[in-house]
Structure 1
Amino acid sequence: MIKTLIIDDEPLAASLVEEYLSEFSQFQILEVCQDGFQGLKAIQQHQPDLIFLDVQMPKITGFEMLELLDEPPAVIFTTAFDEYAVKAFDSMAIDYLLKPFSTARFAQAIQKFLVHFQSSEASTNKEGINNLAEKSDRLVVRVKNEIKIIPTHQVLYFEAEDDYISIHTVTGKYLKKMTMKSLEEALDPLQFARVHRSFMLNLNEISKIEPYERDTYLVKLRSGAQVPVSKTGYSRLRQVLGL
């Protein structure tokens, strides 16, 4: 049996997926979840092969939920908003069903999944998922067994640490598994600038820029923290700040 979850805050939409999926005997619906937190818990518990995932849900979005998973299952997005289609396919989603969808369109999505599943490629590209949060004003991180949502205006700076990003905020330090490149693409370039291979800072936190060693600089933040700036990063910083 193909283990399946439905994650959608609209009961009618979830029941429609259940009804359509009942026509395919190889699928087993393990749970129907009404928000991203329930979905996250169910995925960790059941390790499904496929999830039907809404985008706009209470608490956290479908995209943000996927960011919290190290190895996301295959995904078929179900949503009433077509503007998320590009992001969905960037995440290597199997398909994107725009509500209301017909039985024929649903069957087409199922066939796409079966081809994918049978070719032993049923895994989602994590880097693609990290790129979903385009120009996000918040970040979602896991802290032990809890989920924390960090508004980006609370971030002082970011620091690359192997496969993780260290998020330095006014309330503490948090780790998130993603690349500096995907983070840079996700944040507002008018608020954040990458000033070094391993550092990106909040422009609103800059207190002073001082020469350091040859062709490098040091940014002092209002919090007292110091962030190194490379030669390339300094040129980018001057451009952004209009210096």
Structure 2
Amino acid sequence: MGNKTKVAIIDDEKLAQDIVANYLKAHEDIEIIAKCSNGFEGIKIINEQKPDIVFLDIQMPKINGFEMLELLDETPVIIFSTAFDQYALKAFEVNATDYLLKPYSQERFNEALSKAIIQLKNKDKYNKNIQSLISHLDEKPEYLDRVVVKDKQKISIIPIDDIKYLEAQDDYVMLNTSHGKLLKQKTMKYFERHLNPKDFVRIHRSYIVKSDFIKQIELFEKESYRAILKDESKLPISKTGYDKLKNFFNQ
């Protein structure tokens, strides 16, 4: 029993969980240690029970499979499952990460499982593939409607509308929200790409501000400006940022 490969199944559809469990009956060296139907439970199971392999659905409510990746203490070998998503499929193929496109056969399932077992023996290489996958997915051309942040053991889902401004903090970005401050391990470049430019403006290399949270712009020193926000915060504006603000408000 102790030598069996430990598996967890995370999918919001019970039928999908049952299909994976049924296909695993053909593999006596596999032990299912947990099943769950949402990302919050999934993170807890992975961090506490440490399965070797996880069958992970991408499209789930609350937290999707990709958002989960960034919140794990340690990443197991993951076999993703998804309905058709062209961008995700390309990302998997580029980064040598296996996936199951629903619906799938026992034969295709066995193939993915065999590959995952091989990857277990070379976790360093696999972890690099996962990081590469996350980087690839960060390039997806779409605007965010929320940000998922883990602060110690607490997971927060921040609607984009709640963000007042963002501040660069070394390898992190500080999200200043209606309910306080939270750190997210992303870059300013990432947020500049994924925040709708109709709502957010990068006013400085260290600051991105929600446009309707700007109260006024004032001359600070000779040819220098700063933004006064509705909470009375004062943020520096670079020359490039000032040009962006002029263009933004003249639209």
TM-score interval, smaller chain: 0.7 to 0.9
Are residue 232 (structure 1) and residue 240 (structure 2) matched? yes
Q: How far did 1:155 drift?
A: 0.8
* Mapped contact 1:131–1:185 kept (Cα < 8 A): no
Q: How far did 1:55 drift?
A: 2.0
Deviation per residue, 1:54-98 (Å, 9 max, x gap): 122232222222232254333222123435625853995722322
Q: How far did 1:215 drift?
A: 5.4
- What residue number does 2:160 align with? 152
* Mapped contact 1:209–1:218 kept (Cα < 8 A): yes
Are residue 63 (structure 1) and residue 66 (structure 2) matched? yes
Secondary structure in 2 aligned to 1:212? strand
* Residues 200, 107 of structure 1: alpha-carbon distance in 2 compared, 3 angstrom cutoff: same
- Return the letter of the residue paired with 2:165: Y
Q: Identity over the aligned pairs, expressed in percent?
A: 44
- What residue number does 1:205 align with? 213
- What residue number does 1:10 align with? 13
* Mapped contact 1:140–1:148 kept (Cα < 8 A): yes
For the residues of structure 2 that align with 1:35 and 1:91, how far apart are their CA atoms?
27
What runs of 5+ residues in structure 2 fail to find an aligned partner? Answer: none
* Residues 229, 166 of structure 1: alpha-carbon distance in 2 compared, 3 angstrom cutoff: same
- What residue number does 2:26 align with? 23
Deviation per residue, 1:2-48 (Å, 9 max, x gap): 33211001111011112223334444322111111110100110223
- What residue number does 1:73 align with? 76
For the residues of structure 1 that align with 2:93 and 2:188, how far apart are their CA atoms?
18
* Residues 163, 31 of structure 1: alpha-carbon distance in 2 compared, 3 angstrom cutoff: same
The normalised TM-score by structure 2 is 0.83
Match 2:35 to one of 28, 32, 37: 32
Secondary structure in 1 aligned to 2:112? helix
For the residues of structure 1 that align with 2:122 and 2:18, how far apart are their CA atoms?
29
For the residues of structure 1 that align with 2:190 and 2:220, how far apart are their CA atoms?
28
Secondary structure in 2 aligned to 1:235? helix
* Mapped contact 2:47–2:73 kept (Cα < 8 A): no
- What residue number does 2:115 align with? 112
Q: How far did 1:117 drift?
A: 3.1
For the residues of structure 2 that align with 1:100 and 1:214, how far apart are their CA atoms?
64
* Mapped contact 2:173–2:187 kept (Cα < 8 A): yes
- Looking at CA atoms only, which structure, 1 or 2, has the larger radius of gyration? 2
Are residue 175 (structure 1) and residue 183 (structure 2) matched? yes
For the residues of structure 1 that align with 2:82 and 2:17, how far apart are their CA atoms?
11
